[in-house]
Amino acid sequence: MSGPSPRRWTALALIATAQFIVIMDTSIIGVALPRIQEDLGFSQENLSWVFNAYVVAFGGLLLLGGRLSDLFGAKRLFGAGWLILLAGSLVAGIAPEVWVELTGRAVQGIGAALIAPSALTLLMMLFGHDPKELTKALALYGAAAPAGGTAGVFLGGVITEYLSWPWVFYINIPIALVALFATGPLMPAGQSQRGSIDVFGALTVTAGLGAAVYAIVRAPEVGWGSAETWLVLGAAVVLLGAFVAIQAARREPLMRLSIFRTPNLAAANLTQLLLGGAWIPMWFFLNLYLQQVLGYSAFPSGAALVPMTVLIMIGMIVLAPRGINRFGPKTMTVTGLVLLTAGMAWLSFIRPEGNFLVDVLPASLVAALGMSMAFIPSLGTAISSARPEEGGLASGIVNTSYQVGSALGLAAMTAVAAANGANQLGDLPALTDGFSSAFVGAAAIALVGALIAAATLRSRTGATVTAEEVKA
Judged by phi (left if over 0) then psi (alpha if -120 to 50, else beta), residue 426 lies in: left
Q: Do 1-198 and 257-472 show the same overall fold?
A: yes
Q: Which band of pLDDT confidence, cut at 50, 70 and 90, is reported for residue 3?
A: low
Percent of the chain beyond pLDDT 90?
36
CATH of 1-198 given 3.30.2010.10, 3.30.2130.10, 1.20.1250.20, 3.40.50.620: 1.20.1250.20
Is the pLDDT confidence value at 30 over 70?
yes
**Which tens digits make up the pLDDT trace of 300-359?**
887 888 888 788 878 877 888 888 888 888 999 999 999 999 999 999 999 999 999 999
**Residues 155-176 pLDDT 10s:** 888 898 888 999 999 999 999 9
Q: Report pLDDT for 390.
A: 62
Greatest C-alpha distance within the chain: 68
pTM: 0.79
Half-sphere exposure of 356 (CA within 13 A, CB side): 14
DSSP-assigned states of every residue in 406-445: HHHHHHHHHHHHHHTTTT-TT-HHHHHHHHHHHHHHHHHH
C-alpha to C-alpha distance for 118 and 121, rounded to whole angstroms: 5
Q: Report residue 468's pLDDT band, with 50, 70 and 90 as the boundaries.
A: very low
| pLDDT in the model for residue 387 | 67
Domain boundaries, the chain: 1-198, 199-249, 257-472
**257-472, what's its fold?**
Growth Hormone; Chain: A; (1.20.1250)
